[in-house]
């Protein structure tokens, strides 16, 4: 297993367009997390799944954001009607259900122009 995989690594989109990011977690991991990180800040929690169930969503996750993990394996994060303030790195991480250690992917950079 090569770790958490995210794609695309970079996405430039025009304001108002929809974008989707994909995350493939470490295969044995039940939990999958999405974070957002802007320059000079630490990662901010957005949401997490245990298997296919979305267990918690941050208030940062506006109704333009939706995350899914339909089969309990890979996950997608969709941002609708993108705004310039959505420009950030979107990080995915995974862990065992009972484990406390989370492992990150390399992130997906979004630039909204």
Partner 1 sequence: GQQLNQSPQSMFIQEGEDVSMNCTSSSIFNTWLWYKQEPGEGPVLLIALYKAGELTSNGRLTAQFGITRKDSFLNISASIPSDVGIYFCAGRETSYDKVIFGPGTSLSVIP
Sites for partner 1 among residues 32-61 (CB under 8 A): 33, 35, 40-45, 48, 55-56
Encoded tokens for 86: 């959505």
Residue among 14, 11, 10 at smallest CA distance from 83: 14
Sites for partner 1 among residues 76-95 (CB under 8 A): 91, 93
Task: Name the minimum Å distance from CB 76 to partner 1.
Answer: 18
> Counting contacts by CB under 8 A, is residue 25 touching partner 1?
no
Which residues are within 8 A (CB) of 49 and not within 5 positions of it... i.e. 6 or more apart? 31, 32, 33, 55, 67, 69, 72, 75
Residue ranges that bind partner 1, judged by CB under 8 A: 4, 6, 33, 35, 40-45, 48, 55-56, 91, 93, 100-107, 109
């Amino acid at each position: 297993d090569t770790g958490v995989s995210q794609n695309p690594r970079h996405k430039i989109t025009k304001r108002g367009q929809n974008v989707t990011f994909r995350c493939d977690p470490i295969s044995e991991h039940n939990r999958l997390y999405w974070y957002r990180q802007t320059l000079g800040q630490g990662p901010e929690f957005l949401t997490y799944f245990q298997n296919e169930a979305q267990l918690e969503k941050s208030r940062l996750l506006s109704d333009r954001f939706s995350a899914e993990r339909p089969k309990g394996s890979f996950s997608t994060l969709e941002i609708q009607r993108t705004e310039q303030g959505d420009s950030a790195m979107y990080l995915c991480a995974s862990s065992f259900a009972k484990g406390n250690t989370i492992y990150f992917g390399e992130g997906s950079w979004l630039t909204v122009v």
